Amino acid sequence: MSHILIAGLGDLGRGLAENLLAAGHRVSGIRRGSDAPSGVDLYSQDLLDGARLLPPDRVDLLVIIMTPSEYSEEGYLKAYVRAPLNLLDALAEQQPLPPILFVSSSAVFGDLEGDVDETTSPAPTRYNGKVVLAAEQEISTRGLTTVVRFSGIYGPGRNRLLTKVARMAGGEEPLPEAKWSNRIHRDDCVGLLGNLVGRWLSGETVPPLVVGTDNSPASNLDVYQWLARQQGLSLPVPEAKPSGKRVYSRFIADGGYTLRYPDFRAGYATLL
């Protein structure tokens, strides 16, 4: 049995914690609120005030899954830089830092065009990608780290796109321009993180960077039209060549993880 500390018990953190507990591991968690899966040793606190509460015994692996409380540059700095560094500073005073699994975002690729993967140099243009990339770099200097860059996460409770399609079909919102869209189902996010945790704990070689995506980029207009049809709505879309980036994961393509939902049709079919 290993001891995993998860900083951030939102949707992904909860799912990962539940899976690790079911596998027989000990799981401690940090979050601002008091809600946590049964069996998690919770240390409720705001890491922006410093990591004052930590497990008293050795942590074998640290997973950082932060979510900004506000979508602004300051919100991102608090969530992805200041809070994690406060935690790392405090934990380093208590023990040698364990391996770190840090959840990042494909936003670090910015407005690149064409295919991108783990070998592509990041080129963020907006504050979110710039802050998350800075966090990746700073955290990676502290110890052994695997960064996971997820593309657009969808799944239960994430209905923004379904609402958008209904509005477009009803004429309440115009069709956007054609762009490549990239996504990964919430369950595959949890599964991929669990896979990487298992590799770290078993002593396998784990790459420093993994892209988390379903490896099936699609035109946003094709996605909208398919979703409309599944809901009995009419949404004619023009034929147009998408612009933007197509995100791929070499780790997944090479067999590092088997996707449960390999494209948007498989994933959204469970939500409709």
Residue pLDDT, tens place only, 153-189: 999 988 889 999 999 999 999 999 999 999 999 999 9
- What does the pLDDT average to over 28-51? 96
**Cross-strand partners of 102:** 64, 147
Q: How many domains does the chain have?
A: 1
> Distances in Å between the alpha carbon of 223 and those of 91, 212, 217, 219, 268?
44, 19, 10, 6, 10
In a domain, 75, yes or no: yes
Residue 110: which CATH number?
3.40.50.720
In a domain, 260, yes or no: no
pLDDT tops 90 at residue 146: yes
pLDDT tops 90 at residue 195: yes
Residue pLDDT, tens place only, 53-71: 999 999 999 999 999 999 9
**pLDDT score, position 241:** 94
Residue pLDDT, tens place only, 225-235: 999 999 999 99
Q: Report the distance separating Cα 156 and Cα 120, nearest Å.
A: 31
pLDDT tier at 272, thresholds 50, 70, 90: confident
**pLDDT score, position 159:** 86
- What does the pLDDT average to over 12-20? 98
Percentage of the chain surpassing pLDDT 70?
Answer: 100
In a domain, 238, yes or no: no
Q: Do the bridges between strand 41-44 and strand 183-185 make them parallel or antiparallel, or are there none, so unpaired?
A: unpaired
**pLDDT score, position 206:** 96
**pLDDT score, position 120:** 98
In a domain, 234, yes or no: no
pLDDT tops 90 at residue 125: yes
CA 259 to chain centre: 15
Residue pLDDT, tens place only, 98-116: 999 999 999 999 999 999 9
Q: Report the distance separating Cα 15 and Cα 260, nearest Å.
A: 15
In a domain, 179, yes or no: no
Q: Are 45 and 37 in contact (CB under 8 A)?
A: no
**pLDDT score, position 127:** 97
In a domain, 57, yes or no: yes
In a domain, 173, yes or no: no
Report the chain's mean pLDDT, rounded to a whole number: 96
Residue 107 sits in which domain range?
A: 3-158+184-216+246-254
In a domain, 177, yes or no: no
Report DSSP state, residue 80: I
